[in-house]
Amino acid sequence: MTNANCAAPLIPREKLFGNPTRAAGQISPDGKWLGWLAPRDGVLNIWMAPSADSSAAKPMTNSTDRPIRQYFWAPDSRSLLYIQDKGGDENFLLYGVDVATGAERTLTPFEDTRVMLVGDSTSQKGRLLVGLNNRDPRLHDVHLLDLNTGELTLVLENEGFAGFLADDNLDLRMAVRPNAEGGMDYFDIADGKIAAEASGGTGLEDSLTTSPAGYTSDGKTLYWIDSRGRDTAALVAIDTETGESRILAENPQADIGGTLRHPVTGVVEAYSVNYLRTTWTAIDPAIKASLDFLEANLEGDFSVISRTDDDTMWVVSNDPLIAPAKTWLYDRKKGELTEFYTSRPDLVGAPLQPMHTLEIRARDGLVLPSYLTLPPGSDSKGDGVPDAPVPMVLLVHGGPWARDGYGFNPNHQWLANRGYAVLSVNFRGSTGFGKNFISAADLEWGKKMHDDLVDAVNWAVSTGITPAEKIAIMGGSYGGYATLAGLTFTPDAFACGVDIVGPSNLETLLATIPPYWEPLVAQFHQRMGNPNTPEGLAMLKERSPLQSADNIKRPLLIGQGANDPRVNQAESDQIVSAMKDKGIPVTYVLFPDEGHGFAKPANNIAFNAIAENFLATCLGGRAEAIGETLGKSTASIVEGADYVQGLDAAAGN
């Protein structure tokens, strides 16, 4: 281990990135059962127990390779449903497990097919509407699925629509189709027939901030998250008979984020806003009383993640930030909280650090909501500024149409524990802060979007967070692109970079998007650049780090999944090859059984072991030895093992 001015014990990677003890707890709609994810022979599987006795648990699935990461209860409580792909290819199929018998079946038994949920019902609990792209990989046809017999019945053959909305009767009511401007057009559906003319729509500017949010169960109200005519998206209710529209909630700083809706009626009872932190506001008095009770009895942030149909029992997730997250059962009748589980009990007592919320101003005045975590023992005043500057990792989120948020973040805790300040910036283009914030990034990949990151770095240096020569840039997907952009377009700004599944060539990225994203390609072209025009193609080439690979002069670590359908392996291969041709050092780690990110804990831990030793080599922070992590993973060190401390030996070279 390298030396660093930090007395706190190292938190083992396994405790942060290994399997949780339990996760994703949910209660069945009828209240009789609890479900959760937990390891079975080292792989996350679905477990179940009676709600009256969570200790009487039994596994319901037996995945022996990839972890199950998403599951949900069937509306009739008779089965557990989950989706799973193969090797990270994102062709997710739907599986069901009978609660009574434990029998499992593949409910969408097709090859090279990705399922999407179109609608569920509180009145027809044994059936779902699902979309399947087995006929045409670009388009999802709508089918009615009987969960208990497995029968699939075609409801509508898709002729160019990106999505559909159904009511509680499982009748399709709306179709959504992209338009040439990069927005969406909305078409009413009656008696199974789609209207010839759109009833409404959006242009590009509202395309990511406006969408229908579902009907009440009686079909009389349609909710929207809607930014049309305003900047931040409001919660709007429309009377489906009269067309009358009412604004239920809006906020000048951030979009309306989530809602709590009655599990049977579908009526919105509370809504959330997430600017720097998430706040909930209740519309229904009884829900307000329950949220007030939880606020008074739980430390830190909480969210309601599951409710029974009679709404007497809730499953509540609680994030204290500087302690491992807990999940509780909340009996609303009794006014009692019972601990369900702690996700990572091994982190109890670990030196977890607080997260500081920030507003950083970009050079053109745009305010960037951001988050900072400092190393343990570095900030004796607790004011968010270390007593002396420390090395820093700029951790860039993916998307880019996504966002960073407040709360327990294993990457923040891991890197801070190793001796680094960790800064995450919601650069322009991030979602949640209104449509103008998103639109400010249009055609600005590698330009103003990157300027925001550089401005945040300059703020950190001028504030005394970090010395200018001790800053790394790191991220996945778009964050990987930002890493490559940082080392090519601003080669003196960063001491090193860690790129995880990041695109190096925007032209080839757009040429190889998954077929089911094809309906959205007009929006990609409007926001990134259109390769079908000479100007657009020239811009995409200019903004592609691959074209400037010979500018790189600082160490680079790349991690890639061989089965990534979004950012193909060629994106990493290309820039590694270009760097080798120029004699520029690069370390390249390839995982043959992963896709867009590393789902298997052993693979994630192995890459992080390499990454923290890479950062220690470049910035001088602390590192837990790589040890046996490589041997427990499928990692292949394609290039540059000798550029990372301990990697050559760990790889058996």
* Catalytic residue ranges: 477, 564, 596
Radius of gyration of the chain (CA): 25
CB atoms within 10 A of CB 643: 18
DSSP at 642: G
| Peptide bond preceding 400 in cis form (omega within 30 of 0) | yes
Mention every residue, 6+ apart, whose C-beta is less than 8 A from residue 321: 300, 301, 352, 354, 355, 407, 408
Closest CA to 317 of 334, 300, 335: 300
Give the Cα separation of 25 and 316 in Å (integer): 9
Q: Name the residue among 342, 466, 337, 456 with its Cα closest to residue 404.
A: 456
Neighbour count for residue 120 (Cβ, 10 Å): 18
**Which residues, 6+ apart, have CB-to-CB distance to 12 below 8 Å?**
624
Exposed / middle / buried, residue 380 (Cβ in 10 Å: 0-12, 13-18, 19+): exposed
Left, alpha or beta for 85 (phi > 0: left; psi -120 to 50: alpha)? beta
- In a 3-state reduction of DSSP, which class is residue 135? strand
C-alpha neighbours within 13 Å on the C-beta side of residue 395: 25
Angle 545-415-441 (CA atoms, 0-180°, nearest 5)? 40
CA 217 to chain centre: 29
Cα-based angle 331, 335, 337 (whole degrees, multiple of 5) = 60
Give CA–CA dist 493/481, Å, rounded.
15
- Report the C-alpha gap between 299 and 293 in whole angstroms: 12
Residue ranges with strand state E in 92-169: 93-98, 104-106, 115-119, 127-136, 139-146, 152-156, 163-166
Take residue 48 and report the two structure tokens written for it: 């179940």
DSSP sequence for 572-628: HHHHHHHHHHTT---EEEEETT-BSB--SHHHHHHHHHHHHHHHHHHH-------TT
C-alpha pair distances (Å), 278 with each of 251, 253, 547: 12, 12, 40
In DSSP terms, 395 is beta-bridged to: 474
Between CA 629 and CA 63 the distance in angstroms is 22
Task: Report whether 396 contacts 475 (CB < 8 A).
Answer: yes
Tokens 């789609």 belong to: 194
429-450 residues labelled b (16+ CB within 10 A) or e (exposed): bbbbbbbebbbbbbbbbbebbb
The set of residues, in sequence order, having a beta carbon less than 8 Å from that of 229 and lying 6+ positions away, is none
Question: Would you give the distance in Å from CA 603 to the centre of its chain?
Answer: 18
